[in-house]
Amino acid sequence: MGLLRQIRIARSIRVPKQVRPWSVSAACLLAFAYPAFAGSPTNIFDPAGTPARSIFSLSMLVLSVTLVIFLIVAGLLLYALIRFRQRPTDTASEPAQVYGSNQIELSWTVIPILIVVMLFLSTTRVILETEAKPKPASAVNVIVIGHQFWWEYRYPKLGVVTANELHIPVSDPKNPSPTYLQMSSADVSHSFWVPRLAGKTDLIPNRINTMWIDPAEAGLYLGQCAQYCGTQHAKMLLRVYAQLPADFAAWIKQQQQPAQADLSGQPMAEEGRKVFLHNACINCHTVTGTVANGRFGPDLTHLASRDTIASGPIVNSPENLKAWIANPDTLKPGSLMPSMHLNDRDLNAVTAYLTTLH
């Protein structure tokens, strides 16, 4: 596993086009530091999409420049401290007093200015190629809405609404189909950060921000909310599933269906649906095809098709689901979903119903 990742990072180091000469020294440094980074699914130095990759090559340039500055200045400082230390054999006289030199001052003003201009120009290029890139017609649009403490995803052209697990198609570099995220917030500020795909963008209420992601390889990319948003900021995790076009189309097709209406032969689930529809659940949750149309909490139409609940930290199993419904606060203290104080029978019934929502 570690080796595989090492190979992958080695390959991604080869990718940068514009600043390769600078990258080499920093890449060597990284290779030494590499064991430290191995195995993290959220490593910014293991980019898997275009924005993350251009940031990565810029970061290699900046790291190389700062490393060189560090070695020079720290080296001189160390040398001066050792060379000019007071020795026991020294006479008591004071050293020669030097008050300054305009030429020297000028040189260590001008050289840093040149370095700054160079860094500024390369930074500007990456800003423009990320933020000012025209959107291709083949792009997939997703509206992302941050909530305390979960993510709402809406696919406006496809008629799909889901929560916490974002599905997107992979983007073939030859024929790119990036996903454009239009982001806002229903309450306080949040921030969308999946390090291997792109830098973060804040979700701010009363404002719309846009970012794009385009992983080339299918897989699960992790991240989490990066702007402090209240008690459970820590458990507002991000899961992005990049799927091959056929898989993505199949997922969309399945998500477009209303919730399964025919529960005959599943008396427990049938009863659970009654409990669900006759309780306050429907004020906050939507299940398409029923009267439940609340929007305060996640859409549950296809809850059972998700791997996790509670915005990522908990595996979606009937036991966990039951514990969650019984009292969300025990699993995610500060969660805004209240305990509904259901009796055990109702609890089992509702759990059975929710597990039918594929």
Partner 1 sequence: MANATTVLEGIERTAPTGRSQRPSVVYEWLTTVDHKKIGIMYIVYALIFLVIAGTQALLMRIQLAVPNNHFVSPQIFNRLFTMHGTTMVFFVGVPILFGFGNYLVPLMIGARDMAFPRLNAFSFWISAFGGILLYMSYFAASGLYGAGSAPDVGWFAYAPLTAKVFSPGHSTDYWTLSILMSGIGTTGTALNIVATTICLRCKGMTLTRMPLFVWLLFVTSCMVFIVVSPLTAAQIMLTLDRYLGSHFFDTQAGGSAVLWMHFFWIFGHPEVYILILPTFAFINEIVPVFSRKAIFGYPAMVAASVGIGFVSLSVWAHHMFTVGMGPAGNTFFVFATMVVSVPTGIKMFNWLATIWGGKVRFRTPMMFAVGFLFQFLIAGLTGIMLSSAPFDWQLSASYFVVAHFHYVLVGGILFALFAAFYYWYPKMTGRMMSETLGKWHFWFFVVGFHLTFDFMHIPGLLGMPRRIYTYEAGRGWEYWNLIVGIGAIVQTIGTLIFVYNLVHSYFRGKEAGPDPWDAWTLEWSTDSPPPAYNFAVEPTVGSRRPLWDLKHPEDPDSSYE
58 binds partner 1 (CB under 8 A): yes
Which residues between 8 and 27 bind partner 1 (CB under 8 A)?
A: none
CA atoms of 22 and 65, how far apart (whole Å) = 8
Stretch that binds partner 1, among 97-105, 247-255, 266-274, 342-350 (CB under 8 A): 97-105
What secondary structure letter does DSSP report for 41? T
Residue 73 sits in the site that holds partner 1 (CB under 8 A): yes
Considering only 3, 4, 132, 246, the residue that binds partner 1 (CB under 8 A) is 132
Q: With contacts defined by CB under 8 A, how many residues of the chain interact with partner 1? A: 93
**Where in 191-220 is the site for partner 1 (CB under 8 A)?**
191, 193, 195, 198-202, 204-207, 209-210
Q: How far apart are CB 128 and partner 1 at their closest, in Å?
A: 6
Residue in 3, 98, 137, 291 binding partner 1, rule: CB under 8 A = 98
123 counts as binding partner 1 under rule CB under 8 A: yes
Token digits of residue 341: 């104080």
Among 15, 25, 29, 44, binds partner 1 (CB under 8 A): 44
Q: Report the nearest approach of partner 1 to the CB of residue 172 (Å).
A: 24
Residues between 240 and 279 with contacts to partner 1, criterion CB under 8 A: none
Stretch that binds partner 1, among 9-17, 32-40, 292-300, 337-345 (CB under 8 A): 32-40
At position 190, the amino acid (one-letter code) is H
Torsion angle, CA of 200/205/208/209, rounded to 10 degrees?
A: -10
Task: Considering only residues 301 through 330, tell me which ones interact with partner 1, judged by CB under 8 A.
Answer: 313
Query: Whole-number minimum distance, CB 296 to partner 1, in Å?
Result: 13
CB of 205 or CB of 338, closer to partner 1: 205
* HEC string for 122-174: HHHHHHHHHHCCCCCCCCEEEEEEEECCEEEEEECCCCEEEECEEEEECCECC
Question: 137-166: which residues touch partner 1 (CB under 8 A)?
Answer: 148
Q: What is the CA radius of gyration of the chain?
A: 27
Q: CB pairs under 8 A, 24+ apart, for 296-301?
A: 296/147, 296/336, 297/150, 297/336, 297/337, 298/150, 298/152, 298/163, 298/164, 299/152, 299/161, 299/162, 299/163, 300/354, 300/357, 301/161, 301/255, 301/258, 301/259, 301/357
Angle at 334 between CA 328 and CA 339, to 5 degrees: 35
* C-beta of 136 vs 313, nearer to partner 1: 313
